[in-house]
């Protein structure tokens, strides 16, 4: 049951990345607005970090059952460790980072980045054993 839950968290994460790619491609100004909103409130900040933590744990837990166990394990640990670090980073610093990033990444750049989101999300889903 836990394994099935982890698998679906990873699949949903892959789909989320693909949807983010479509937003970056077709609504790059919206993508920029969303990035600017990261960590803008305590609720958003800790919700984002907690979701990141859950996804990281799912990758670690499911890694031995995936098509690429080492990559899933490394990515999961990366997500987990960065989430734990972000819990201790002041929210305003996290928000300032996302705001500055949104200022740097122009809408045209989001369109250039979007194919990578499609590939990344697709690779995540592909590497989940669906049987």
| Model pLDDT for residues 61-109, shown as the tens digit of each residue | 999 999 999 999 999 999 999 999 999 999 999 999 999 999 999 999 9
Kindly list the distances between the CA atom of residue 58 and the CA atoms of 63, 65, 72, in Å, as whole numbers in the listed order: 8, 11, 9
Closest CA to 58 of 116, 50, 25: 50
How many residues comprise the chain? 131
12-69 tens-digit pLDDT? 999 999 999 999 999 999 999 999 999 999 999 999 999 999 999 999 999 999 999 9
pTM here is: 0.93
> Residue 129: what pLDDT?
87
Candidates 102, 114, 60; CA nearest to 83 is: 60
Report the C-alpha gap between 17 and 15 in whole angstroms. Answer: 5
Which structure tokens are listed for 113? 């980045």
């Amino acid at each position: 049951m836990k394994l099935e839950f982890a698998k679906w968290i990873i699949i949903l994460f892959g789909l989320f990345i693909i949807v983010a790619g479509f937003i970056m491609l077709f609504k790059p100004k919206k993508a920029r607005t969303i990035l600017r909103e990261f960590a803008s409130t305590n609720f958003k900040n800790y919700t984002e970090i907690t979701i990141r933590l859950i996804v990281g744990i799912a990758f670690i837990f499911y890694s031995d059952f995936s098509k690429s166990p080492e990559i899933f394990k490394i990515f999961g640990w990366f997500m987990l460790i960065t989430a734990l670090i972000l819990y201790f980073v002041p929210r305003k610093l996290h928000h300032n980072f996302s705001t500055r990033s949104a200022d740097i990444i122009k809408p045209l750049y989001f369109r250039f980045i979007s194919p990578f989101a499609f590939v990344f999300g697709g690779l995540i889903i592909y590497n989940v054993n669906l049987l």
